[in-house]
Amino acid sequence: MAIVLGDNRYGKAETRLVRVTRDGDSHGLADVNVSVALSGDLAATHLSGDNSGVLPTDTMKNTVYAFARSHGVGEPEAFALLLGRHFVDTQPQITRARVRIESYGWERLGPHSFRRKGDYVRTAQVDVTGDGVQVVSGLKDFVVLNSTDSEFHGFATDRYTTLPETTDRILATAVDARWRHLSDAADWAESFEGAKGALVNAFVTTYSYALQQTLYSMGSRVLEHCPEIAEIRLALPNKHHYLVDLSAFDLENPGEVFIAGDRPYGLIEGTVTRDDAPPALAEWHP
């Protein structure tokens, strides 16, 4: 039996960075979390401890900070592309650089005053190789809720099924969506807002008989409105809301008072893609 080294990579995870852009009295703010992973001809360090091809992860961290100072941060996709290309171009033993960025939003309150926006986290993942570049944008922790226009019935049952059918329920989820771009050149800000708007529009306007149906509607709407996107993957946890039984207090509850469940929860995942989309350069997932 032979024992061989499989796929491997290494890097610096979660480099926290806040970049203040000072333009007179009016300041800008970028708040990101950057993770870098490199792979390539790295067998020697695993098999014999030869580190001659290992760029220290501390160097990766320093590069993130230095590039933030010299180039600014801007859109997360653009910053990730800049970093990924740097590591592949400057390290001959590295054949792939993956850069993941979480971007945290801030709302302007004044020329140099801000309030953290916590309604979602914007994400970006860039893979740079000698064969090409892949850009994946997205968002996570985007909580949305419909108080009606959702049903769930006609489902399969067995001896363990206790869930009653319903023709009116709350439908709520925390959207985790990632979408793969057709190229590495786009107006990243415009594309992100367009995709987010399409997700919201589909959630609001879809009369849902299942969260799976809502997922497909959301993914389809993004592809219909964003021609620069090849495919989209969504993970939608079903944030259950249970009607409270108030009969012990001689009170009716006509769909007004609910318990917001925590766990366990249903988790619906799926991919919506163009049938002519080119294959992905690298694996990606929510």
Question: Has residue 63 got a pLDDT over 90?
Answer: yes
Residues 6+ apart with CB under 8 A from 169: 150, 151, 152, 241
- Residue 286 is predicted with a pLDDT of 58
Question: Strands 171-181 and 26-40: what pairing?
Answer: unpaired
Q: Scan for tokens 């801000």, then name that residue.
A: 114
27 is known as an active-site residue: no
d(C-alpha 140, C-alpha 88), whole Å: 28
As a CATH number, domain 131-279 is: 3.10.270.10
pLDDT tens digits, 235-251: 999 999 999 999 999 99
Catalytic residue among 12, 181, 196, 239, which? 12
Alpha-carbon distances, residue 221 vs 65, 88, 103, 131 (angstroms): 37, 35, 24, 31
Mean predicted confidence (pLDDT) in 74-89: 98
Q: Is 141 left (phi over 0), alpha (psi -120 to 50) or beta?
A: left
Read off the tokens for 158: 């067995």
Report whether 138 contacts 178 (CB < 8 A).
yes
Considering the four listed CATH numbers 3.40.190.10, 3.10.270.10, 3.40.50.1820, 3.40.50.2300, the one that applies to the domain covering 10-129 is 3.10.270.10
Catalytic residue among 181, 196, 239, 240, which? 240
- Residue 166 is predicted with a pLDDT of 96
| pTM of this structure | 0.95
- Residue 284 is predicted with a pLDDT of 85
* Mean pLDDT score of the chain: 97
Decide if 10-129 and 131-279 have a common fold: yes
pLDDT tens digits, 195-210: 999 999 999 999 999 9
pLDDT tens digits, 19-59: 999 988 999 999 999 999 999 999 999 999 999 999 999 99
d(C-alpha 8, C-alpha 40), whole Å: 8
Per cent of the chain over pLDDT 70 is 99
Question: Has residue 153 got a pLDDT over 90?
Answer: yes
pLDDT tens digits, 250-271: 999 999 999 999 999 999 999 9
Going from N- to C-terminal start, the domains of the chain cover 10-129, 131-279
CA 55 to chain centre: 28
196 is known as an active-site residue: no
Catalytic residue among 45, 57, 59, 273, which? 57
112 is known as an active-site residue: no
pLDDT tens digits, 120-136: 999 999 999 988 999 99
